[in-house]
Amino acid sequence: MSGTNSERELIAEGPAIILVEPQLGENIGMVARAMANFGLAELRLVNPRDGWPSEKARAAASKADHVIDATKVYETLEEATADLNFVYATTARERYGFKPVRSPVVACQTLQQKFKGGEKTGILFGRERWGLTNEEVALADEIVTFPVNPAFASLNIAQAVLLMSYEWMKCGMEDLSETLFDPVEQKPSTKEQVFGLFEHLEEALDSRGYFHPPAKKPRMIDNLRAVISRRGFSEQEISVFRGVINSLDRFPRQWPRKVVPRQQKATDKAEIEGNDGE
């Protein structure tokens, strides 16, 4: 789904995303893209297998260059988290007796609170194949895990980052129903306008003999009014409906020409050609 707009203000703040020994540059790039989608910009890499920088990562980032260009590389996880005040570790495996375990929603609420309080925070993500070690999880303050299918709990690293990034942005929104699109403002119709539409439609249908038999006309009118009044119309929608009725009143009915099936056309053509050869 495309939607990049360089003219809009770029959101770039929040917890650092820390990848421990990522293997593929493409995965790092997709992580950067996921971060940029939801306003995160600080990416830290711990001992990336294929080194850094990576053109494969830049290509996969799909123009999230501000994340790629600012990415920092560390030799150890201790160095990558040294300046942070609070860190979450993500894991799909149960770690007995380790740390408090939070859902992404609760974790991001905590991260938002700490961010507003001026604290520096981070989220750890493990290796593509086997995640974080117990020793690495021990360096975090709390654990966050996703509500996934227990029989198929493994997430691609970019998917995991995307989920946390989305929750981070959502938790920071004052109104969860807001979108990036400007709402279409339409003036609601008055009851007088709706009644006028009723009368207009009834007159048009009556002139064409729709209400048959006449004894059923009151019930049919009630049904039509119930359908039309089921939802609120805008003034523009009332105008559109009345324009349709006016068009039907203005022009005589033209029956559609008979549609001949393709197979019948081929048969008729063959018969004509056969007759020409006689």
Let me know: does 67 contact 110? Beta carbons within 8 Å: no
Is the per-residue pLDDT at 65 higher than 60?
yes
Enumerate the CATH 3.40.1280.10 domain ranges in the chain, comma separated.
16-171
SS3 annotation, the chain = CCCCCCCCCCCCCCCEEEEECCCCHHHHHHHHHHHHHCCCCCEEEECCCCCCCCHHHHHHCCCCHHHHHCCEEECCHHHHHCCCCEEEEECCCCCCCCCCEECHHHHHHHHHHHHHCCCCEEEEECECCCECCHHHHHCCCEEECCCCCCCCCCCCHHHHHHHHHHHHHHHCCCCCCCCCCCCCCCCECCHHHHHHHHHHHHHHHHHCCCCCCHHHHHHHHHHHHHHHCCCCCEHHHHHHHHHHHHHHHHCCCCCCCCCCCHHHHHHHHHHHHHHHCC
Q: How confident is the model at residue 94 (pLDDT cuts 50, 70, 90)?
A: confident
Q: What is the arithmetic mean of pLDDT over 224-243?
A: 82
CA–CA separation, 108 and 31 (whole Å)? 18
174-224: per-residue pLDDT in tens? Answer: 655 565 556 667 788 888 888 888 888 888 888 888 888 888 889 998 988
Q: How confident is the model at residue 1 (pLDDT cuts 50, 70, 90)?
A: very low
Q: How confident is the model at residue 272 (pLDDT cuts 50, 70, 90)?
A: low
For domain 16-171, give the CATH superfamily. SPOUT methyltransferase, trefoil knot domain (3.40.1280.10)
Q: How confident is the model at residue 121 (pLDDT cuts 50, 70, 90)?
A: very high
- What confidence score (pLDDT) does residue 275 get? 57
CA 107 to chain CA centroid, nearest Å: 21
154-168: per-residue pLDDT in tens? Answer: 889 999 999 999 999
Per-chain mean pLDDT for the chain = 84
